[in-house]
Structure formats: structure tokens, C-alpha cells
Structure 1
Amino acid sequence: MAQTVTELRNEIRIAVDRFERERAATFTKEDLAAVCDAVGYEIETTGRLPPKAEMRAGILWKIGAVEQAHPENAPSSFRKDELKAILAAIQ
């Protein structure tokens, strides 16, 4: 049986040492920061975390889903195929 988007998000959370969520929930900034670290996208962590769009764009760039990290072109949440690619990249 195919995994749902929620199941994929939770697998990613677990892989980056974050907490699994019982309900469907998009990634928090902290979740995205952990994924950035796992895929090798460096973000500034000494102050506030960058905007979610910036982190999503960087993650997609590092896994090869896009050619450049442009936050203005980043999706508001990852699609299922993107989640699968992220999971494959961090495992």
C-alpha cells in the first residue's frame, strides 16, 4: 500500500530526530531546519531561523529537484514525490 503524505512527513521527521505527529501537519521551521542539516543545506542558526520558503527551496535544490534555490518559487508545502525524494536523500 502506498504511503500517505502524512506518513512520509513522519518518516522524514524520525530520520532527522524530530517528533512524529499523530495528525496531518506541515513541517515546522525546526523540522525544516533539521532536514536542511540532513541534506547539507547550510542555514544561519545563530538567531531566528530563515523563512520556511527559503528552507524548502534549499532542500529541493540540495536533493536535485530544482536547479537553483529560489524561495519565491518554493512551494507552500512539499508534494508527495518531493517528500519521497527527500526521504531517499536522507536515508
Structure 2
Amino acid sequence: MSADASGLKRPRHPIPDFVESALTERGLRAAYEARPAYQQNDYIGWINQAKRQETKEKRLRQMLDELESGGVYMNMKHPASEKT
């Protein structure tokens, strides 16, 4: 398997419409796109793996909150994304 233009060596998860809408509504599209491709892909895969809609929504809220605050990725410190 070859890497795509983003440098990912694994398949890229398509962004579901409800995630696109949430990014737009919260004004976080640029923050999402500023994250490395692996983080974008991990977030989408993690949200989509949830079986229950309630869990998907909880994970989506976590992603949005992390993008908004910066400095956090999947509940871990991520200094590269800190907001100045």
C-alpha cells in the first residue's frame, strides 16, 4: 500500500457529513485541517468506530473541544497544537 498525498500509509477515513457540519458550526475547520493527517484520520476513525450514536456524539464533542482549546490530542498533551 502506498502513501497518499498526506503521507498516510493507511487508508484515509472519509469525513461524515455530521462531522463536517459540526466543524463548520463551531468554526473549527481550520483547526482540524491544521492538525497532521494522522490525527485527522484517527479522530474520524475513532468517531466512526462507535456503535451507538450517543457514543459517536460524545467522541465528536471531545474532538471539537480539543480542537477549540488546542494543546490536546485524544486526551493527551499535544504542544504542537497549543494556541498562542
**TM-score using structure 1 length:** 0.27
Q: Which has the higher contact order (CA 8 A, sep 6+)?
A: 1
**TM-score using structure 2 length:** 0.28
Q: Which has the higher helix share?
A: 2
Q: Which has the higher strand share?
A: 2
